Amino acid sequence: MSSWWNEFRTSSRSFALVITVGLLTGFVLYGAVSGVNQQYVAGPALGGVYYYAEGEYHFVLYIFNTAGDPLSGGTASVGLVFVASNGTFLGAAMAIGHPAADGRLSLALPGPDVSASLWLNYSESSASFGSISTITPTAPGAMQPVGFEFGFVNVGSVAPVAALVAIITGPNGTAPVGFAVTYSYSCYQNGSGCPGSPTLNGTVTTLTKTFGVYRITLPAKVPKTDWLTLSLRAPDGTSVASQQLRPESTPSEYVGSPTPAVTFLAWGSYPFELLWPLVGIIVGFVVHGRSRVGSFVDGTLVRPTTRVEILTSRFGAAAAWAALPALTAMVTIQAAITYWFHFAYPFLPLLFEGLAIWAAILTWAGLSILTSHLGRSTTVVVAVPMILFVVFAIGWPAFVAPFLSPLGLWWPPVFYVTLANPVQLPNLMAYASAPSAAESMLGHWYFGWLAILDVGMACLAWTLLPFAGALRMWTWRD
Amino acid sequence: MIEFDSVTKQYALTPVPALDGVNFRVASGETVALVGPNGAGKTTAIRIAVGVLLPSGGTVRIDGHDILRQKKPASAGVGWVSDSTVFDPRIRARALLRYLSGFYPASKRLSRDGAQQKLDEVGLGTWADRRIGTYSYGMRKRLALAAADVGEPATYVLDEPFEGLDPAGQAFLRDWLDERGDRQCSILLSTHRLPEVQRIANRVVVLNLGKVVRILDRGEFADAKITTVRVSGPGLDRGASDLLGTLGEVSADGSDLLVTGPSIDPAEIAQLLISHGYRLTLLRPEPKTLEEAYNKTLGPAP
């Protein structure tokens, strides 16, 4: 056991640390779970197939969440508005029902055999979803012999995951025995195709159930700019229906849009984000500031150890404690996504989120440690970081703006410089790990290694510079 | 062994250096006392010696190891008793000693029983698992002695060790120091208690305004070897004073003359004055204390 480890181990053991970091970890845990859960319930979708027989429209609806799992707690409604070909209003019909536990709801509406506007809606206490489309069952050929509907589920441009929900019935609502779904995925940018892009073809599954709700995972992600062609094939191999889907153009776009891990946590833990600097300050004070202020560190320094060893071991202890909520967030988000969404979230965005929390706490711990070398007063050691927090939260943007605003706030470098202060580290990391969010403001070109480099340097600087400053001050020979 | 080599300490924003080219050494088995008025630089010197304060110039070597460049081996050989408590009051004594022993090689680390034994030795055995914050000042001093012993150093540096101790505590400390002296440990201690210094020190380093103004060997302050002889008689004039000045420092006390110096022989004074025609009515040796030597070195208090 080296003297470094001896100091690390001892400075890590503190009831105050257990309480402080434990409390924050609890908040993070709650935030991650509730954040993912909010995303989970916030995205109900409704898919349906129908057929027309004996003067009635028969609907088989499936209400599902972002994971493709059935929802049953709310109310689904189907409305039809019949309009003659000359535009004359012919009437309307509406039916309401509650989906069964399997998310399925069968409704029948009487109506004439004319073109109709279809209105579908599903609502529950926390969210609702609706869509309007036109159906035309009049011509026998237009009559859908089978029901065939897809909804994208968690198709992320971040993740190599393309999951779909297929809702299928056989002819006139019979069991789709022997039917199969095939797909082809091609790159068709600007309608001219993309030479060199992979073209995937294959059969996803053979469907044999009476009412099919199938989660289909494709072997490649579907970029937003590309098309996915899905076909339902009868037992004899003929294509009886097909759909071309493009992630960003589907009604299920909300469900299928990439959801960065930071979004999950932001949903649930945003009210607690101000706690991170506070916890960092407390961690820094407990592991080093307190003993520095009270001169207890001298009793350690007289032992066979060095200032560098003491400070690095204590900074290491702060880093270890800061890692607890960070790891908790990563593990919890992954576990919650796996539980509710049924897929493994990619590691990189999760890692970014964990690093954001870790860097946010450690930065303030470092500033707290640095402050303890500016003055030997508890008031100074606690108050100065608090003042710094206010300065960075309010003063930094005001300081940066006059220099950079002529260049435009949303010019990417300006944007990132504005964020590159210790209060904004979580947000900075969020933009780096959420390409869709960054793209919407900065344009596609900026997200990438440049942003990652930018974020990485900011985090490294803010975590290491205060520590380096403290070390320099402590080893300064007057 | 401790060697101060041109040690200088200049604090920021203070015009006068706290230490200014301090040179002295404490040999193996030697006890050296650091004395001087308040603000002389004693505590600064001691804190630099144990490595908790960085000098502005020069260095201190412990058993030949530079406290700056060879901090670990240097610190491994020194035990420090601070003038103020440097222990977190929320920690329990036993846990403290075990934590401190964790900086030393495995052979010197304290088990639970080992820590108990160390505390027993300083009379704190029954308080081993109490928080230090509940200790009295004297108990903390005893704990500081136990903490200084962790690592079994050959050199001890003590800053005002007698302060705050009751008579029993002072007696304990004397024994504690004697025992380490018997083991040929090097001891450097700062104190204002000159009688204690006179009893235990081999040498005295007198500091004033950051400088070593005098180093007294034991022969210069112990027992009665530094003496003052009171001389009375009719007609003791300037000539008599000049004659006596050849033997020691002369001062007037009323009509009497006081001759002060090491190893002053009253017979020699008598012979010198009588041979020059003076008559004497009183010739009385007065034991000279370290305190007087100290005051004479530093001059009258401001």
Residue B147 binned pLDDT confidence (cut-offs 50, 70, 90): very high
* Sign (positive or negative) of CA dihedral B36, B40, B43, B49: negative
Contact B103 A301 (CB under 8 A): no
Asked if A313 has any chain B CB less than 8 Å from its own CB, the reply is: no
Nearest-Cα distance to chain A for B294, in Å, is: 31
Question: Does residue A296 belong to the interface with chain B, where contact is any CB pair within 8 Å?
Answer: yes
> Which residue type, as a one-letter code, is found at position A49?
V
Determine, for residues B54 and A305 on separate chains, whether the beta-carbon distance falls below 8 Å. Answer: no
Determine contact, residues A142/A136, Cβ cutoff 8 Å: yes
Per-domain boundaries in chain B = 2-218, 226-298
Residue A389 above 50 pLDDT? Answer: yes
**A376 belongs to a structural domain:** yes
**Would residue A328 count as lying in a domain?**
yes
Q: Is the Cβ of A3 closer than 8 Å to some Cβ of chain B? A: yes
- B72 vs A: CB within 8 A: yes
Give the pLDDT band (50/70/90) at residue A311.
Answer: very high
What is the distance in angstroms between the Cα of B162 and the nearest Cα belonging to chain A? 19
- Which of A349, A37, A301, A322 minimizes the C-alpha distance to B48? A301
Residue A377 lies in a domain: yes
The C-alpha torsion from A399 through A401 and A404 to A410, rounded to 10°, is: 140
Q: In this predicted model, which residue has the larger pLDDT, A113 or A319?
A: A319
How large is the average pLDDT for residues A396-420?
A: 63
Question: Which pLDDT does position A345 carry in this prediction?
Answer: 65
**Could you report the per-residue pLDDT of A14-70, keeping only the tens digit for each?**
878 888 888 888 888 887 777 666 655 445 566 677 777 778 888 877 777 665 667
Q: Is B123 exposed, middle or buried (0-12, 13-18, 19+ CB in 10 A)?
A: middle
Which of A1, A298, A475 has its CB closest to that of B86? A298
Looking at 3.40.50, 3.30.9, 2.60.40, 3.30.70, the CATH number of the domain B226-298 comes to 3.30.70
The angle, 0 to 180 degrees and rounded to 10, between the axes of the packed helices A347-371 and A378-390 is: 130
Residue A309 in this model has a pLDDT that exceeds 80: yes
pLDDT band at residue B59, thresholds of 50, 70 and 90?
very high
Query: What is the percent of chain A with per-residue pLDDT over 90, rounded to a whole number?
Result: 9
What are φ and ψ of residue A342, in 5° steps?
60, 35
Q: Is A296 close to B10, i.e. CB distance below 8 A?
A: no
Name every chain A residue with its beta carbon within 8 A of the beta carbon of B88: 290-291, 294, 296
Q: How buried is residue A99: exposed, middle or buried, by Cβ count under 10 Å (0-12/13-18/19+)?
A: buried
Instruction: Find residue A62's DSSP bridge partners.
Output: A47, A104
Whether B257 and chain A come into contact, CB under 8 Å, resolves to no
Q: Which of B52, B75, B102 sits opposite A1 (nearest CB)?
A: B102
**Which residues on A lie below 8 Å from B56 (Cβ)?**
477-478
Nearest CA-CA distance, residue B91 and chain A, Å: 11
Contacts of B50 in chain A (CB under 8 A): 302
What tokens appear for B288 in the block? Answer: 């000279």
Nearest to A303 among B9, B84, B100 (CB): B100
Residue among A6, A288, A303 with most chain B CBs within 10 A, to mutate: A303
Q: Spell out which residues of chain B touch residue A299, defining contact as CB-CB under 8 Å.
A: 82, 86-87, 100, 147
* Mean confidence (pLDDT) of chain A: 71
Kindly tell me if the per-residue pLDDT of A384 is higher than 80. Answer: yes
Residue A387 has pLDDT above 50, yes or no: yes
pLDDT digits (tens, 9 = 90+) for B79-128: 999 876 788 888 999 999 999 999 998 888 889 999 999 999 999 999 99
Amino acid A149: pLDDT: 53
Using DSSP's 3-state secondary structure scheme, residue B119 falls into helix
Q: Do B100 and A306 touch (CB under 8 A)?
A: no
Nearest of B78, B47, B82 to residue B62 by alpha carbon: B78
On whether ipTM exceeds 0.95, the answer is no
pLDDT digits (tens, 9 = 90+) for B149-179: 998 999 999 999 988 788 888 889 989 999 9
Residue A411 lies in a domain: yes
Which tens digit of pLDDT belongs to each residue from B182-192? 999 999 999 88
Determine the average pLDDT of the residues in A335-340. 75
- Pairing assessment for the beta strands B2-9 and B57-62 based on DSSP bridges: antiparallel
Q: Is A15 on the interface with B (CB under 8 A)?
A: no
pLDDT of residue A215: 57
Binned at pLDDT 50, 70 and 90, residue A150 comes out as: low
Chain A: nearest CA to B156, how far in angstroms?
A: 12
What tens digit of pLDDT does each residue of A348-375 get? Answer: 667 777 887 888 889 999 999 999 988 7
Tell me the chain A residues in contact with residue B78 when contact means C-beta distances shorter than 8 Å: 302
Q: B228: part of which helix (H) or strand (E)?
A: strand B226-232
Q: Does A475 touch chain B (CB under 8 A)?
A: yes
**Nearest-neighbour CA in chain A from B296: distance (Å):** 33
Task: Give me the percent of chain B exceeding a pLDDT of 70.
Answer: 91
Looking at the predicted structure, is the pLDDT value of residue B143 above 60? yes
Report whether A38 contacts A11 (CB < 8 A): no
> Which residue out of A11, A295, A302 would a mutagenesis test of the B interface target, given it has the greatest number of B Cβ atoms within 10 Å?
A302
State the nearest Cα–Cα gap between A300 and chain B, in angstroms.
7
pLDDT digits (tens, 9 = 90+) for A175-195: 667 777 777 766 655 555 555
* Residue A405 touches chain B, beta carbons under 8 Å: no
Higher pLDDT, B76 or A275: B76
* B6: number of Cβ within 10 Å: 13
- CB of B50 less than 8 A from some CB of A: yes
Q: Which residues of B242-271 are buried (b: 16+ CB within 10 A; e: fewer)?
A: ebbeebbebeeeeeebbbbbeebebeebee
In sequence order, the β-bridge partners of residue B128 are none
Closest-CA distance, A472 to chain B, in angstroms, reads: 13
Q: What is the pLDDT of residues B264-280, one digit of tens each?
A: 788 888 888 999 889 88
Span B2-218: which CATH code? 3.40.50.300
The verdict on residue A164 lying in a domain is: no
Report the pLDDT averaged over residues B227-247.
Answer: 86
Q: What is the pLDDT of residue A5?
A: 82
Nearest CB partner across the interface for A6, out of B10, B71, B103 = B103
Q: Of B56, B80, B86, which has the smallest distance from its Cβ to A295's Cβ?
A: B86
Q: Is A304 near chain B, with CB under 8 Å?
A: yes
Comparing A75-79, A244-248, B132-136, B205-209, which segment has the lowest mean pLDDT? A244-248
- The structural domain count of chain A equals 1
Look at A242 and A331; give whichever has higher pLDDT: A331
Q: Residue B49's pLDDT is what?
A: 95
Residues of B in contact with A293 (CB under 8 A): none
Residue A379's domain spans which residues? 3-39+260-474
Measure in Å the smallest separation between the Cα of A309 and chain B Cα atoms: 11
Cβ distance B10 to A301 less than 8 Å, yes or no, reads no
pLDDT at B266: 83
Residue B45 has pLDDT above 90, yes or no: yes
| Per-residue confidence (pLDDT) for residue A314, from 0 to 100 | 93
Chain A nearest-CA residue for B55? A477
CA of B72 vs chain A CAs: smallest distance (Å): 4
Which among A9, A301, A304 has the least Cβ separation from residue B76? A304
- Name the band, by pLDDT with cuts 50, 70 and 90, for residue A260: very low
Residue of chain B minimizing CA distance to A298: B52
- A chain contacts of residue B103, beta-carbon cutoff 8 Å: 3, 6-7, 300, 303-305
Q: How many CB pairs under 8 A join A and B?
A: 69
